[in-house]
Structure 1
Amino acid sequence: MPWNTKELTIGELAERSGVPASALRFYERQGLIRSRRTSGNQRRYHRTTLRVVAFIRASQNVGIPLAVIGEVLGFLPEGATPTREFWVRASDCWREELNARIERLERMRDLFTECIGCGCLSFEQCTLVNPGDKLGEKGSGPHRLSSGPRVERVEAEQVSGG
């Protein structure tokens, strides 16, 4: 299909965007992109979908969840493509969240570095692995390994030592 055609097949969209067709189908199920169906039930994407996919991937690369990306894309009129101005407004909205995430990651990096130097390996006292000995409330046993709960986020205020 020539590059100036207004519609792309899913294979062409995948090739041009660098995003696997399975991810494009997922984006469509999530309402992030739209296609029309041919009489043979094949997907056809407007070429402007390339910009939307680029916006989605760039947003994902900085850690923005798909649900939030979808909310922002919801502000675009049907069939409109993200413009530079749209991206600037979105990034301004996300700047605070990204800065907070960077601060949390830096604190975790610093705490982890201190923890490595500590050498205590005490899951009862460790403020990084088990802040406030919350796992102790469940009794003895490998709760973290057996039930698979996520490691809780440790804020700098909770840290009292290695």
Structure 2
Amino acid sequence: MKANSINKTLDIGEVVRLTDVPPSTLRYYEEKGLIRSTGRHGLRRLFHSHVLQQLEFIALGRHAGLSLEDIASMFTPEGKLQVNRGFLFEKADEMEKSIRKLTAVRNTLLHVAKCSAQNHMECPQFQRLLRVAGKRKVPTGKKV
């Protein structure tokens, strides 16, 4: 956000130009209560410049897999950010689990691509990677 836009009113075209968020999305976010226009200039909606930071937070939330309802719950009616830290810690933990699972899958795919074994199902390293990817434990007493 530019320093000269800190306490400025922006029309919808300026918001679109500064954020690359389409007008239809801005109208939808307004309908869902994520952002609020301050009025109109003719047919064009006007927004306070803090909408730029709100849109950045919305984009971050969407990248993190949050629903619009989850994101909306973190804004006060005045549009100020009120973060639910516990909820975000839960989401970060979920992401960490997904990252571990995806890493295991990636490692398995890379091994299969590089492994010179004739039959991958007989390759001990591939078997171990399969168990990790599938979260299956090795039976007691057996080492792979």
Normalised-by-shorter TM-score class: 0.5 to 0.7
TM-score (norm 1): 0.54
Number of aligned residue pairs: 119
Q: Looking at CA atoms only, which structure, 1 or 2, has the larger radius of gyration?
A: 2
The residue that corresponds to 2:79 in the other structure is: 80
2:136 is aligned with 1:157: yes
CA contact (8 A) 1:72 1:90 kept: no
Structure 2 CA distance for aligned equivalents of residues 90 and 55 of structure 1: 15
Residue 95 of structure 1 deviates from its aligned partner by: 1.4
The residue that corresponds to 1:42 in the other structure is: 44
Residue 97 of structure 1 deviates from its aligned partner by: 1.4
CA contact (8 A) 2:9 2:49 kept: yes
| Two-structure CA RMSD over aligned residues (Å) | 3.4
Q: 1:37-96 CA distances to partner (integer Å, 9 max, x unpaired)? A: 5273322222221121111122334x324x2x432322422123226xx28565424211
Residue 102 of structure 1 deviates from its aligned partner by: 0.9
- AA partner of residue 20 (structure 2): V
Ranges in structure 1 where 5+ consecutive residues have no aligned partner: 122-153
* Range with bigger deviation, 101-110 or 35-44: 35-44
Cα distance change on mapping 1:20 and 1:39 into 2, 3 Å: closer
SS at match of 1:45: strand
Ranges in structure 2 where 5+ consecutive residues have no aligned partner: 121-132, 138-144
TM-score (norm 2): 0.59
CA contact (8 A) 2:58 2:71 kept: no
2:56 is aligned with 1:51: no
Question: Percent same amino acid at aligned positions?
Answer: 21
Structure 2 CA distance for aligned equivalents of residues 115 and 47 of structure 1: 52
SS at match of 1:78: coil
Structure 2 CA distance for aligned equivalents of residues 116 and 99 of structure 1: 26
CA contact (8 A) 2:74 2:81 kept: no
- AA partner of residue 97 (structure 1): E
- AA partner of residue 45 (structure 2): R
SS at match of 1:157: coil
Structure 2 CA distance for aligned equivalents of residues 54 and 89 of structure 1: 21
Cα distance change on mapping 1:31 and 1:120 into 2, 3 Å: farther
Runs of 4+ in 1 over 6 A off after TM superposition: none
Q: 1:103-128 CA distances to partner (integer Å, 9 max, x unpaired)? A: 1211111121133245779xxxxxxx
